[in-house]
Amino acid sequence: MDKIARDPMYRLLLDGPPRSSRELEQALGLSRVTAAQRIRALVAEGLIVEDGTMASGGGRPARTWRINPHYRNLLGVDIGEQMARVVLFDFGCGVLDEALLPVDLRADPAETLEALARVADRLARSPKATAKVAGLGMALPAPIDYRQGRVAKPSVMHGWDQIDLRALLSARLGLPVALDNDVNLMCMAEQRLHWPDARHVVFIKAGTGIGCGMITDGHLLRGAFGTSGDIGHIQHTPQPHQLCRCGKEGCVEAHAAGWAIARDLRALGHDCHDARDVMQLYVRGAPECRALVNASSRIIGTVSADLVAVLSPELLVLGGTLAGAGEAMLAGIRERVYQRCLPLATERLQICLARGDARLGTQGAAMLVRQILTDPS
């Protein structure tokens, strides 16, 4: 993208709400003249537009500025274990069009990627598009070597580690492509869209699998190799240890994830295969299901307490299919966190359900590729 799109003023507007000229001056330490010059340059390039006016301390109302959502369009892809969602966004991550398609992660990855590419091509030409597509971001249910742009072993995406996803999709679509773990991207989108003032956030996804994304001082924490937050494979102590899908025994996932609860419900005679089936039974009030979901919440609460003790977040957010149990899931998490952590770590900690909807992963994916386009460093 144009060098001017990497201007710090543009980055500030890209990641936050509309701001007045005065607020931009103060945030960036610019003189009024310099700020006005930068604003004019961004307007001339079509990157920002006037948002309206706001009350000022005196005199005329202050003009406010925001990014131009129609500068470019973006594609966000979120691959689940059974379904993929592809969304066409404007540059402000507003939804323009979307499509769902079934996926089988046991199938040939090349076939799945080609099916996704065809859907992405179709959405890029949608009559609802408002500009040329600038890039595609992808959220994946697997550990990701972020620097290499590849799926890492072990994962539920069998055979995907053999493919250079970023290079393959970029060549196929003729677009820049960025990818990351789905929970990292859900965490990013949840914080930016719904908790923009929070600087220290833990986002736990409890669905068919379990993982977390972490934001520290406003920055997504990936660690040295991109595998931070893989809490589903921390060893859990209760006996007997259950075999996990990763091949180890006793993982948190093997006791508390949607697939593990479904396994235990099948053993009790229920037709149950994944987290969605679990929630259907839960809503119907099946007592065995409710007991297992409550137990899951306490296991997740135990590992959450460790995260709170290490990271000291101001916000712990629960998302994913099992979050559909609502306050029942939160109760077990809060119980363990408050039991195990020091008062200083919990007295101002907010533990709540995610505000984002089913598009949260695709929104995070679009934000990721937008971030790379405007700040490649």
pLDDT at 5: 66
What CATH number is associated with residue 126? 3.30.420.40
Residues in contact with 184: Cβ distance below 8 Å, sequence separation at least 6, in sequence order: 144, 213, 220, 222, 229, 364
Same domain, 338 and 365: no
- Given a cut of 80, whether residue 239 has pLDDT beyond it is no
Percent of all residues in the chain with a pLDDT value above 90, rounded to a whole number? 76
Question: Is residue 27 domain-shared with residue 85, that is, in the same domain?
Answer: no
Distance CA 74, CA 245 (A): 34
pLDDT band at 374 (very low <50, low <70, confident <90, very high): confident
Task: From 23, 50, 67, give the residue that closes a domain.
Answer: 67
What is the Cα–Cα distance from 119 to 122, expressed in whole angstroms?
A: 5
Taking the C-alpha atoms of residue 77 and residue 172, their distance in angstroms, rounded to an integer, is 15
Q: Tell me the C-alpha to C-alpha distance, in Å, between residue 45 and each of 1, 48, 255, 372.
A: 11, 8, 54, 19
Helix 275-284 and helix 287-311, axial crossing angle in degrees, nearest 10: 120
Section 288-306 average pLDDT? 96
Find the DSSP H helices in the chain.
Answer: 8-14, 21-28, 32-44, 109-124, 165-173, 182-194, 252-256, 258-267, 275-284, 287-311, 327-340, 343-346, 360-374
Q: Quick check: 55 pLDDT over 60?
A: no
Give domain status of residue 99, yes or no: yes
Same domain, 325 and 227: yes
Residues 279, 370 share a domain: no
- Domain CATH number, residue 10: 1.10.10.10
Indicate the SS3 state at residue 81. Answer: coil
As for how many domains the chain has, the answer is 3
Cα–chain-centroid distance for residue 313? Answer: 17
Residue 191 in domain: no
Confirm whether 338 is domain-assigned: yes
Check whether residue 178 and residue 315 sit in a common domain: no
Compute the distance between CA of residue 182 and CA of residue 327 in angstroms, rounded to an integer: 24
Q: Would you say how long the chain is, in residues?
A: 377
Mark which of 67, 92, 112 sits at the end of a domain: 67
Bridge partners of 49, per DSSP, are: 66
Whether the CB-CB separation of 48 and 35 falls below 8 Å is answered with no
Query: Percentage of residues in the chain with pLDDT exceeding 70?
Result: 95
Pairing mode, if any, of strands 133-140 and 177-181? parallel
87 forms beta bridges with: 76, 98
70-94 residues labelled b (16+ CB within 10 A) or e (exposed): bbbbbbbbbbbbeebbbbbbbbbbe
d(C-alpha 93, C-alpha 84), whole Å: 18
- Same-domain check for residues 83 and 55: no
What are 204's strand-pairing partners?
A: 212, 318
Rounded Cα–Cα distance for residues 218 and 90 (Å): 23
Which residue, of 45, 67, 89, is where some domain finishes?
Answer: 67
> What are the pLDDT digits (tens) for 1-10?
555 667 889 9
Report the pLDDT value the prediction gives residue 106, as an integer from 0 to 100: 86
Give per-residue pLDDT as tens, 91-126.
999 999 999 999 998 889 999 999 999 999 999 999
pLDDT of residue 57: 56
Helix (H) or strand (E) holding 53: strand 48-54
pTM of this prediction exceeds 0.85 = yes
Element (H or E) spanning 318, and its range? Answer: strand 315-319
Give strand pairing partners of 206: 210
Task: Tell me, yes or no, whether 226 lies in a domain.
Answer: yes
3-state SS, 343-372, equals HHHHCCCEEEECCCCCCHHHHHHHHHHHHH
Q: Supply the DSSP symbol for 243.
A: B
> What per-residue confidence (pLDDT) applies to 307?
97
**Confidence category of residue 145, pLDDT binned at 50, 70, 90:** confident
Q: Residue 98 sits in which domain range? A: 73-186+360-374
From residue 56, alpha-carbon distances to 9, 60, 231, 314, 357 in Å are 21, 7, 47, 31, 35
- 264 falls within a domain: yes
